[in-house]
Amino acid sequence: MKNPVVTSWTESTRNLFEPVIVLVITFAAIVKLSQSLYRYNLRRRSRARSGTMSSSSSSDNGTGVQARRRSRILSSKLYFDIPNSKVPLIYSSAYDITFLGIEKLHPFDSSKWGRICGFLLVDNVVDKNCIVEPLEASKNDLLVVHSEAYLNCLKKSANVAMIIEVPHVAVFPNCLVQQKVLYPFRNQVGGTILAAKLAKERGWAINVGGGFHHCSGEKGGGFCAYADISLCIHFAFERLNISRVMIIDLDAHQGNGHETDFANDSRVYILDVYNPGIYPFDYEARRYIDQKVEVVSGTTTNEYLRKLDEALEVSVHSFDPELIVYNAGTDILDGDPLGRLKISPDGITNRDEKVFRFARKRNIPIVMLTSGGYMKSSARVIADSITNLSNKCLIDTGKNMTAT
């Protein structure tokens, strides 16, 4: 005979857990579907692009594309005059991502950019009123590099979820995803593009954000939805009378996005120091790196800085840039869960100083982007490094204290 208490408890437990099990299964199905849809859209865009290229004349592929790109750049509002009372440090509160706490499901500190500026203000390195606030990149701006098909794919939350590596985002209305995720990214893109203009005018500029080096014109990934580095360079080509750009990518991850966009483009020289044992494993894009420096997991500060010195020395004899875009990721820090390198905070400071001295010695304008960094301590480390650049008079924040 069944125990009525046990029977009652079993039925109650079943009634309680059945909805939970259904919810878990449903969510797993959504994630799987989003992955499939994203891959399908990428294949479809690739086929469409191939079809278009094969059916179009070489003249349209070349002259027509360049003409449309130039027209968009010249009509853009992202370049605007900055008063001398401002310093070329670019940030907007719109950079920071808050999305019902879901942003915490990704290891990236999505409030890093605001925290960097907060430290700089508290440390009296820069005055709040002197920081430059950029404009949001418009669709027309993004079309300078991105295809219409790629931008349309971002109108599906499942695709954005794949790109930023947070599956939960797939279930939210796209209008919310646009506002909470893509709008902050578009503001950072505006900051990166503006930084080149400021660097040309002032010698340097730091966008406290940007550095989305995994995104190319046709594909996003690795928390990178827009190709801000590629956009910045194309704007510089058209608006700043610049014809040679060096990308110094010192994020722990390979910069496969800009490498894909500038494949075989002799105007752009890419020096990439990265860990080959981590994401993105893009072997095709590696073919387009002009100077490849691989630093394996566990590489320590002294070894890293030695390899950087050697790489910078080689680049001197290989390319004569008119602009440097420096992707200064801090995921090389010891303890970073994704970078897997062992560089100390002082090593970051020394690294940044070496790159800025390299540019200063040769009188080359330099744009710095903060890029990756997956520990809470990254914001403090970046702020300390910017403070050091100011103290060494490699940048002028209006409050330089010492010179050495």
Q: Give residue 110's pLDDT.
A: 82
Q: Give residue 141's pLDDT.
A: 98
Domain annotation covers residue 250: yes
CB 263 within 8 A of CB 252: no
CA distance 155 to 132: 30
Q: Give residue 58's pLDDT.
A: 45
CA distance 379 to 119: 8
- What are the structure tokens assigned to 335, written together? 């303890």
CA distance 234 to 43: 26
Domain annotation covers residue 31: no
CB 341 within 8 A of CB 299: yes
CB 333 within 8 A of CB 343: yes
Residue 228: CATH number of its domain: 3.40.800.20
Active-site position among 106, 146, 213, 214: 214
Domain annotation covers residue 23: no
Domain annotation covers residue 320: yes
Domain annotation covers residue 258: yes
- What are the structure tokens assigned to 264, written together? 């075989």
Q: Give residue 104's pLDDT.
A: 65
Domain annotation covers residue 55: no
Examine residue 276 and say whether the peptide bond preceding it is cis (omega within 30 degrees of 0).
Answer: no
Domain containing 349: what range?
Answer: 91-396
For residues 13, 18, 23 and 29, what is the CA-based torsion angle, rounded to 10 degrees?
Answer: 140
Q: Give residue 399's pLDDT.
A: 77
**Cα atoms in the 13 Å half-sphere on the side-chain side of 177:** 22
CA distance 377 to 387: 16
**Total structural domains in the chain?**
1
CB 170 within 8 A of CB 191: no
Coil/strand/helix, residue 248: strand
pTM confidence score:
0.85
Domain annotation covers residue 4: no
214 is catalytic: yes
Domain annotation covers residue 61: no
Coil/strand/helix, residue 207: strand
pLDDT tens sequence for the chain (404 residues): 444 433 443 444 444 444 434 344 444 444 454 554 445 454 444 444 444 333 333 444 678 889 999 999 999 999 999 999 999 999 999 999 987 666 566 566 888 999 999 999 999 999 999 999 999 999 999 999 999 999 999 999 999 999 999 999 999 999 999 999 999 999 999 999 999 999 999 999 999 999 999 999 999 999 999 999 999 999 999 999 999 999 999 999 999 999 999 999 999 999 999 999 999 999 999 999 999 999 999 999 999 999 999 999 999 999 999 999 999 999 999 999 999 999 999 999 999 999 999 999 999 999 999 999 999 999 999 999 999 999 999 999 987 644 44
Q: Give residue 62's pLDDT.
A: 72
CB 367 within 8 A of CB 322: no
CB atoms within 10 A of CB 403: 8
